[in-house]
Amino acid sequence: MKLTVWTYEGPPHVGAMRVATGMTGLHYVLHAPQGDTYADLLFTMIERRDHRPPVTYTTFQARDLGSDTAGLFKSSCQDAYDRFKPEAIIVGASCTAELIQDDPGGLAETMGLDIPVIPLELPSYQRKENFGADETFFQIVRHLAKPMEKTKRVTCNLLGPTALGFRHRDDIQEITNLLYELGVEVNVTAPMTATPSDIAKMGQAHFNVLLYPETGEQAARYCERTFDQPYTKVVPIGTGATHDFIAEIRELTGSTAKLDTDRLRQTWWSRSVDSTYLTGKRVFIFGDGTHVKAAARIARDEMGFDVAGMGCYNREMARDIRAAAKDYGLEALITDDYLEVERAIEALQPEMILGTQMERHIGKRLGIPCAVISAPVHVQDFPARYSPQMGFEGANVIFDTWIHPLVMGLEEHLLHMFREDFEFHDAAGPSHHGGHAPKPMGPAAGEGGSMPAETAPPAPVNDNVIWLADAEKELKKIPFFVRGKARRNTETFAAEKGLNEISLDTLYEAKAHYAR
Amino acid sequence: MTSQMTPPPTLGCRQSPVLKQRGQREVFCGLTGIIWLHRKIQDAFFLVVGSRTCAHLLQSAAGVMIFAEPRFGTAILEESDLAGLNDAHAELDRTVSELLARRPDIRQLFLVGSCPSEVIKLDLNRAAERLTQEFAPKVRVLEYSGSGIETTFTQGEDACLASMVPVLPDTQVRELMVVGALPDVVEDQMLGLLADLGIGPVRVLPARNIDGELGVGSNTVFALTQPFLGDTHAALERRGARHLPAPFPFGEEGTTAWLAAIAKAFGVSQDLFDKVTEAPRRRARQAIAQAAAPLNAKSIFFFPDSQLEIPLARFLTRECGMTPIEVGSPYIHDALHGPDLDLLPAGPQISEGQDVDLQLDRCRAARPDLTVCGLGLANPLEAEGLSTKWAIELVFTPVHFYEQAGDLASLFARPLRRKDILGVAAE
Ligand code: SF4
Ligand code: SF4
């Protein structure tokens, strides 16, 4: 039993729904109680989809349990077949149905439907949403894709995008265009945009582009084994990774097509003097493994940030992220416990968080700016405008998104100079965010904070250090966006020197010590 | 007490045939109630004993509304808990001890059953008794079911309140108990009105915290503010309390009728009643008149969701000039919904439960001007050119009593006004 407040991932059948909803012509018959229908709103509200997800829930009740839940499953399955006329059906159980052991796969098989029926085994009490998507996509490919003659021209499949994915819609477009410029056509993009008959044709591509390992890796491996299709290992998020991806494609295809990189503005935007203020900003990075790995590289090599901490919530990627973290001289935080992430951020006092919607809320509470880089998503992660994360346009989008929550260069100086101006004080927050004053640092307000009893005081590095009044006062004059860092550095400095009091002098000695 | 009231229809909906279909129901389970209950009862923690799905439901239904300190959580069952029930009980004890150690402010703990805990027959009643003994007198531990195999959406609140009734102290005082979780501001308005009518003492279930002087006995009379409290109604009657049946306090008419039923039971004079209610009634009528113009002569279709459908249909028909085509409710209790059904003129199809696909067929065929439905259906129907109102907003927004009557009308008017402003041709 594990006490959970907020979760990074839903149950595995929600992953299966992401696959089914991304596709067309596929229907999912899910043995589940009525309350599980809440999952529809993820797609219709958060992603603003204009159709219901293609899911039929059996919605069995307590009174059905003693009698005939299996019969109910069969009639739901038949109704779904008659009404929606899908090309193929996937069937499975949610956590509750798993316990009553009706075996949806076996039941559906006895019905003799004249379309492919794909059974899913998703262990709800062990695995989570990403696994559910990955496994479902794999089963669909395994059942439907047939060996085929390769296309005459060089083609590939794009693997991994699903409904409710973080910017999948736009990544598909960006990478399809990039590949086109390299002379490679996309054969099938799946699961998102594909029909079951498209899946059947996957085998005719020459290779696969694995966009999202979280949701497409099993299928990519299967295709490698079965259809002799190698798959790409670089995820093209960030300028450097996009160049590596292009090199990988050239290697796989022999393409020598020239690329026009005029659209890539991120490199100049980063080098231009206005961006100097980004140098060495301490960032904490958390999300799914793929996005975290990409974000860390961008943060250090393309933005000039200092990666102060990183980790991921999906254990499937733990090994990768641990190895990546080593490169940055860090120990990765692998956890799906929101409170643990909150504590890590609180202790590190980064100047910025690159995280998920969950970290955005942690940031709000702690007064630390945050940009969202990964699922779990919320409605604002589905913008109306084109905003991929991948490819050259993705690099531009990421640059803009990450600097948006920060106080801009000149403004930062002005805040230092006029910090006692009544309108221009630090608590007002960045001037381009009307009405979003970050909360001051310090003990979380009882009701407003999450889990206050546990995390109330901002953990000092060393509990034995006392801030003397004049030093404390001086600390308050430091603008909010560097105050956390100043406090932390000073406390570390004091601890190293074996001091148990921090005076004004200690503060400035620490400042000199850490000067860069 | 019916001065200036629209007379009841000659034929209401109480005897109308009810359409009952069985198929997929597109509704939340009772766990959802935790989202408003944990804000209302300030010293309570709601611990769902369930699966990752349950945790995900709570998070998704709550959205970012309350992404702050929640006084709820899910003890997620893992493979090892499914293996043996004894171990599961031990695990639950451990989880509760940790939780209570970390949250010393908690005085009431609700163990909330889910589908998985019920299917594996994890006896939360036994657990609650055991834990009460362990943590009394500081913490009281109760249990109820919010599972999707037993409860629908607002029935979770019903189950929660019903679980508190047996442990309420006995009282022989003649008291009014008002039952149903209301936003504090609305509750205060209601208490103000009752005080002005000279009715007292008034107790509220659920009380904001455990130290309230709430008791029950054969001299208790109670009024319900929410139409989904069937089990709580039964539990209170078992304790000897007497129910005051009335239309629910939505709109000017509903509020007046609701207050009138109480006033009558407490012998309030017509003069005093008129004096107290006159000004707020006038304000409510005026606010409705201003807000409801876009609703006049428009048709409306209710998918079953919160059990608020029947009283709301009554309000929208009689005070806003709408024509209901279908009024669906997950459950219909005659003792609770009867007075509203009496006032709702015969005509609309009344339906209980649902087969969502068949109901969608009827809705599409009827092409109502406004459809009240859950979040899963709203955007798809909008995309088909229908205007919708999400039902969940009705339980999260202050809509009861006089001062909110205008707001209630505007909740329904807004989608229609919006369509007008955006110049979307009504199809
Ligand atoms: S329907 Fe059952 S399993 Fe699903 S969220 Fe509700 S209680 Fe949990
Ligand atoms: S306005 Fe506020 S919430 Fe919106 S993106 Fe900027 S910082 Fe975030």
* Digit-coded pLDDT (tens) for B257-301: 999 999 999 999 999 999 999 999 999 999 999 999 999 999 999
pLDDT score at B427: 46
Spacing, Cα A194 to ligand 2 middle (Å): 34
* CB-CB under 8 Å, A449 with B69: yes
Residue A273 CA to residue A429 CA, distance in Å, equals 23
**Nearest CA of chain A to the CA of B352: how many Å?**
15
Q: Are residues B337 and B262 in the same domain?
A: no
Q: Kindly state the DSSP code that residue B6 receives in the 8-state scheme.
A: P
The atom of ligand 1 lying closest to the CA of A95 is 3
Q: Are residues B301 and B248 in the same domain?
A: no
Name residues whose C-beta falls within 8 Å of residue A142's C-beta, 6 or more positions apart in sequence: A222
A433 lines ligand 2 (CB under 6 A): yes
Q: Are residues B289 and B393 in the same domain?
A: yes
Q: Does A445 touch chain B (CB under 8 A)?
A: no
Q: Are residues B392 and B341 in the same domain?
A: yes
Would B410 be classed as within a structural domain?
A: yes
Q: Are residues B293 and B254 in the same domain?
A: no
Is residue A426 pLDDT above 80, yes or no? Answer: no
Verify whether residue A274 is a known catalytic residue: yes
Is residue B232 pLDDT above 80, yes or no? Answer: yes
Is residue B93 pLDDT above 60, yes or no? Answer: yes
Would B163 be classed as within a structural domain?
A: no
Three-state DSSP class for residue B207: coil
- From B272, B292, B309, the end of a domain falls on B272
For residue A181, what are its two tokens? 């410029």
Provide the chain B residues 287-326 that lie in CB contact (below 8 A) with chain A.
Answer: none
Would B223 be classed as within a structural domain?
A: yes
CA dihedral over A66, A67, A71, A76, signed as positive or negative: negative
Domain count, chain B: 3
Would B260 be classed as within a structural domain?
A: yes
A21 neighbors A51 (Cβ within 8 angstroms): no
Is residue A438 pLDDT above 50, yes or no? Answer: no
CA dihedral over A488, A494, A498, A499, signed as positive or negative: negative
pLDDT score at B3: 53
* CB-CB under 8 Å, A96 with B375: no
- From B252, B272, B292, the end of a domain falls on B272
Identify the weakest region by mean pLDDT among A409-418, B379-388, B389-398: A409-418
Q: Which of A274, A327, A470, A505 is catalytic?
A: A274
Is residue B88 pLDDT above 70, yes or no? Answer: yes
For residue B383, list chain A residues with Cβ-Cβ distance below 8 A. 50-51
Name residues whose C-beta falls within 8 Å of residue B206's C-beta, 6 or more positions apart in sequence: B37, B40, B41, B160, B161, B164, B181
Q: φ and ψ at A294, to 5 degrees? A: -65, -40
Domain of residue B356 covers 18-25+281-422
Name every protein residue with a CB atom under 6 angstroms from any ligand 1 atom.
A 33, 35-36, 95-96; B 29, 31, 50-51, 53-54, 57, 114-115, 147-148
Spacing, Cα A46 to ligand 2 middle (Å): 17
pLDDT score at B365: 97
**Nearest CA of chain B to the CA of A211: how many Å?**
26
pLDDT score at A432: 56
Q: Are residues B133 and B202 in the same domain?
A: no
pLDDT score at B63: 66
Is residue A24 pLDDT above 80, yes or no? Answer: yes
pLDDT score at A417: 54
Q: Does B383 touch chain A (CB under 8 A)?
A: yes
Residue A175 CA to residue A179 CA, distance in Å, equals 6
Q: Are residues B365 and B234 in the same domain?
A: no
- For residues A433 and B265, the model is more confident at B265
Of A44, A361, A451, the CB nearest to B376: A44
A438 lines ligand 2 (CB under 6 A): no
Residue B407 CA to residue B394 CA, distance in Å, equals 11
Q: Are residues B37 and B87 in the same domain?
A: yes
- In single-letter form, the type of residue at position B131 comes to L
Q: For domain A145-253, give the fold.
A: Rossmann fold (3.40.50)
Closest by CA to B206, choosing from B248, B156, B245, is B156
pLDDT score at B251: 97
Q: Are residues B198 and B141 in the same domain?
A: no
Domain A12-133 matching CATH 3.40.47.10: the answer reads no
Domain A460-516 matching CATH 1.10.8.550: the answer reads yes
- From B119, B151, B183, the end of a domain falls on B151
Provide the chain A residues 377-396 that lie in CB contact (below 8 A) with chain B.
Answer: 378
**Nearest CA of chain A to the CA of B93: how many Å?**
10
Please report, for the domain that includes residue B356, its CATH number. Answer: 3.40.50.1980
Q: For domain A266-426, give the fold.
A: Rossmann fold (3.40.50)
Do A12-133 and A145-253 show the same overall fold?
Answer: yes
Residue A504 CA to residue A471 CA, distance in Å, equals 4
Would B164 be classed as within a structural domain?
A: no
A430 lines ligand 2 (CB under 6 A): no
Would B167 be classed as within a structural domain?
A: no
Residue A213 CA to residue A289 CA, distance in Å, equals 9
pLDDT score at B393: 85
Q: Are residues B287 and B416 in the same domain?
A: yes
Q: Are residues B364 and B311 in the same domain?
A: yes
State CA A334 to chain mean position distance: 14
Q: Does A38 touch chain B (CB under 8 A)?
A: yes
Would B228 be classed as within a structural domain?
A: yes
Provide the chain B residues 92-151 that lie in CB contact (below 8 A) with chain A.
Answer: 92, 94-95, 98-99, 102-105, 115-116, 118-120, 147-150
pLDDT score at A482: 72
Name residues whose C-beta falls within 8 Å of residue B278's C-beta, 6 or more positions apart in sequence: none
Q: Domain ranges for chain A, please list them.
A: 12-133, 145-253, 266-426, 460-516
Q: Does A68 touch chain B (CB under 8 A)?
A: no
| A218-264 pLDDT, tens digit each | 999 999 999 999 999 999 999 999 999 999 999 999 999 999 899 99
Would B55 be classed as within a structural domain?
A: yes
Q: Are residues B223 and B255 in the same domain?
A: yes
Model confidence at A446, pLDDT cuts 50, 70, 90, reads very low
